[in-house]
């Protein structure tokens, strides 16, 4: 083709295509752009400090009461609300709660000194069986005896952990029925799921916490059906995650008369400042702190009995020096208010003082069992008597489970396949309707309209481009770093760019857009790039959801506010470009919700569907903000893309890498 013919053909192209012919050399070099993007705008500790303060100030304090009856009324109401609004949130979770659990007894290990071990399995929810072991004293006759549900935490051996076996053996030898319950994700459930997968249910609008709660509730149900079970003497105890199970379940189920959580939890306010205590998804459920802190749950045992055990030098979590005082200070007045001060005890373990439920902590449990169930401090012997032959390997304690046993991932996949459903009030035949869908989307995301205060840092010139770092304050809670690249010649539009790997990885895209004559704002919203929390990052995202906010809503609101600010400076709507599945979802939502200030959203490596992260088995540890409670129940990527279309104008441009 002759040279002049190329020019003629180029002139026939649309303006956008013609811009692509501009030489990239007109923009600064990649090295210059990279140096500008690498500029530190925030102090290293600021993102952690801001998210800690954000969470901490939202955690409710336990109210004071002078009247015991008022406290009892408050307690009953709080239990009902936590169960209804948090634990059994969503119609399917309520169905699980109301379903009957089946129990199947397996083989029995006999010829043990004074007791036997009966293997069994029970349904957590229909089709999901949990293995357990009942340590049963011999020759009980018609006698009614105390029962103890022994739960375990994050130990790979699960119900076969030696310290747990010893505890159950001793309880049985002292005449108690001891149930050794497997826990989701551990022991026989290990390698089948991550605890963070419970977020898959949350995304579908069903409480992922429900199976964890039912895991203990069903265990107690079957234990109390034993002909020798005394319903007036029921205890629950466990270490670490088992300590969490103990306090959470026991505070809400008044059938439990004595709880002994060992190194299992701390206040949400404590967690906001101590990364060791942040806790996993089941310990930090969506919106719990809008109703109650763990200080409240601790105090809810005041009408029964509580032994609160912490370890002095706990290398894992919930160490006594910082975790115990707020819980003790919240619970003690309530026990005294009800005249039950003697039924609240605390214990700090110093030998070995690490994360354990070893001999010293077990002896404290035995003392409390004697005190509460027998009113005799020496009724339960403190001396454990067992032989090595009584401690079995995991294989020996294996309980037969169905080959098609379900789990959270399979349940979530099944639910997701029928989602999304029409937004209430919308016309199913009309598809997505902005007037009915946009308010619902705002509600799910918990969006905010942030007012912006922008602080411009010293600018510099690089090859005809003014580079200005900005500290953008959003409301009183967040600071977002932005690097602005403004060509000195006529600006042909503004584009906001963000990416999963942070702004420092977007130098080539900045150069590309500068070559087109565009002003570029490279930003790092909450959780990305310079705004990334340097330690335990995804656990802070989970905490944000627990105090009643949504990380995805925060990010979407931040991007929308910056788009509004940028438009105010240029008087023209801005475009957004996102790189990566997470920031692409943020850009999609921001564009969907704000057609006034945002023109188009250009998405790279975006998810074709939210169902993808469920089908691939991911959890909140990989995509923390995308598991926004109830989002998939009503909206998926195709629906959001249609919702973003205004007057037939498509505003979402997807590039598959």
472-508 pLDDT tens trace:
999 999 999 999 999 988 788 999 999 999 999 999 9
* pLDDT value, residue 8: 38
In the block, residue with structure tokens 């000194």: 113
What are the residues whose beta carbons fall under 8 Å from the beta carbon of 336, sequence distance 6 or more?
Answer: none
- Confirm whether 25-54+434-655 and 80-416 share one CATH topology: yes
CA 122 to chain centre: 26
- Average pLDDT of the chain is 94
How far from 44 is each of 50, 481, 532, 534, 554, CA to CA, in Å? Answer: 11, 12, 9, 8, 20
pLDDT in tens, 516-536: 999 999 999 999 999 999 888
Strands (E), 585-635: 598-604
Other beta carbons within 10 Å of 276: 17
In the block, residue with structure tokens 């105390």: 146
**Dihedral of CA 42/45/48/51: which sign?**
negative
pLDDT in tens, 57-81: 999 999 999 999 999 999 999 999 9
Does the pLDDT of residue 23 top 50, yes or no? no
What are the residues whose beta carbons fall under 8 Å from the beta carbon of 635, sequence distance 6 or more?
Answer: 420, 437, 441, 444, 643
Which class would CATH give 80-416? Answer: alpha beta
pLDDT in tens, 346-394: 999 999 999 999 999 999 999 999 999 999 989 999 999 999 999 999 9
Does the pLDDT of residue 25 top 50, yes or no? no
In this structure, CATH architecture of domain 25-54+434-655: 3-Layer(aba) Sandwich (3.40)
Other beta carbons within 10 Å of 165: 23
Mean pLDDT of 315-337: 98
pLDDT in tens, 414-444: 999 999 999 987 765 566 678 889 999 999 9
Could you give the dihedral angle defined by the CA atoms of residues 325, 66, 341 and 82, in that order, rounded to the nearest 10 degrees?
A: -60
Does the pLDDT of residue 305 top 60, yes or no? yes
Domain boundaries, the chain: 25-54+434-655, 80-416
Pairing mode, strands 344-349 and 305-311: parallel
Does the pLDDT of residue 1 top 60, yes or no? no
Distance, in Å, from the CA atom of 451 to the CA atom of 638, rounded to the nearest integer, reads 31
* pLDDT value, residue 647: 87
Report residue 435 as tokens.
């007037």
Q: Is the peptide bond before 352 cis (omega within 30 degrees of 0)?
A: yes
Taking each continuous run of H as one helix and of E as one strand, the counts in the chain are 23, 18
Asked if residue 199 lies in contact with residue 281, where contact means CB atoms within 8 angstroms, the answer is yes
* pLDDT value, residue 93: 98
Distance, in Å, from the CA atom of 159 to the CA atom of 150, rounded to the nearest integer, reads 9
Does the pLDDT of residue 253 top 70, yes or no? yes
pLDDT in tens, 551-572: 999 999 999 999 999 999 888 9
> Which DSSP string do the residues of 383-410 spell out, in sequence order?
S----GGGS--GGGG-----TT---HHH
């Amino acid at each position: 083709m002759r040279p002049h013919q190329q020019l003629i053909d180029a002139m026939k192209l649309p303006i956008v295509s013609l811009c692509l012919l501009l030489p990239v050399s007109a923009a600064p070099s990649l090295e210059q752009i990279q140096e500008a993007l690498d500029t530190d705008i925030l102090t290293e500790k600021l993102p952690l400090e801001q998210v800690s303060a954000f969470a901490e100030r939202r955690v409710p304090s336990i109210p004071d009461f002078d009247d015991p009856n008022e406290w009892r009324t408050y307690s009953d109401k709080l239990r009902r609300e936590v169960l209804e609004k948090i634990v059994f949130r969503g119609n399917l979770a309520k169905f699980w709660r109301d379903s009957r659990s089946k129990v199947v007894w397996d083989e029995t290990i006999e010829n043990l000194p004074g007791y036997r071990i009966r293997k069994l399995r029970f349904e957590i929810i229909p089709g999901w069986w949990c293995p357990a072991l009942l340590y049963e004293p011999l020759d009980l006759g018609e006698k009614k005896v105390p029962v103890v549900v022994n739960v375990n935490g994050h130990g790979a051996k699960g119900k076969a952990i030696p310290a747990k076996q010893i505890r159950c053996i001793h309880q049985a030898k002292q005449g108690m029925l001891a149930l050794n319950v497997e826990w989701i994700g551990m022991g026989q459930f290990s390698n089948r799921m991550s605890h963070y997968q419970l977020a898959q249910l949350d995304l579908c609008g069903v409480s992922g916490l429900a199976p964890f709660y039912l895991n203990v509730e069903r265990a107690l149900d079957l234990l109390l059906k034993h002909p020798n079970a005394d319903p007036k003497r029921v205890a629950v105890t466990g270490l670490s995650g088992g300590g969490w199970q103990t306090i959470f379940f026991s505070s809400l189920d008044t059938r439990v008369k004595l709880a002994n959580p060992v190194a299992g939890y701390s206040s949400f306010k404590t967690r906001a400042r101590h990364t060791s205590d942040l806790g996993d998804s089941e310990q930090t459920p969506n919106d719990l702190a809008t109703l109650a802190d763990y200080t409240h749950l601790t105090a809810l045992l005041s009408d029964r009995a509580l032994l609160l055990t912490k370890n002095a030098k706990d290398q894992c979590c919930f160490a006594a020096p910082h975790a115990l005082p707020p819980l003790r200070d919240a619970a003690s007045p309530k026990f005294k208010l009800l005249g039950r001060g003697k039924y609240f005890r605390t214990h700090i373990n110093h030998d070995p003082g690490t994360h354990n439920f070893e001999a010293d902590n077990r002896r404290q449990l035995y003392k409390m069992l004697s005190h509460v169930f027998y009113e005799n401090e020496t009724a339960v012997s403190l001396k454990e008597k067992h032989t090595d032959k009584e401690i079995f390997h995991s294989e020996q304690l294996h309980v037969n489970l169905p080959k098609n046993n379900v789990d959270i991932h399979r349940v979530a996949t099944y639910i997701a396949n029928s989602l999304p459903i029409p937004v209430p009030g919308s016309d199913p035949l009309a598809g997505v309707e902005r007037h009915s869908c946009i308010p619902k989307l705002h509600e799910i995301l918990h969006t905010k309209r942030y007012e912006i205060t922008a602080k411009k840092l010293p600018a510099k010139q690089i090859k005809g481009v003014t580079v200005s770092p900005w500290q953008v304050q959003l409301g009183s809670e967040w600071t977002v770093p932005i690097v602005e690249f403004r060509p000195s010649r006529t600006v042909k539009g503004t584009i906001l760019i963000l990416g999963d790997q942070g702004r420092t990885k977007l130098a080539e895209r900045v150069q590309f857009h500068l070559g087109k004559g565009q002003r570029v704002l490279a930003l790092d919203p909450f959780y990305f790039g310079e705004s990334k929390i340097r330690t335990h990052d995804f656990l802070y995202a989970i905490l944000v959801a627990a105090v009643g906010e949504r990380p995805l809503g925060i990010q979407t609101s931040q991007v929308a506010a910056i788009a509004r600010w940028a438009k105010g400076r240029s008087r023209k709507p801005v475009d957004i470009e996102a790189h990566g599945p997470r920031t692409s979802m943020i850009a999609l939502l921001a564009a969907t919700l704000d057609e006034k200030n945002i023109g188009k959203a250009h998405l790279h490596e975006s998810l074709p569907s939210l169902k993808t992260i469920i089908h691939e088995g991911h959890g909140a540890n990989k995509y923390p903000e995308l598991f926004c409670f109830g989002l998939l129940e009503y909206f998926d990527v195709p629906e959001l893309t249609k919702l973003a279309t205004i007057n037939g104008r498509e505003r979402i441009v997807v590039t598959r890498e």
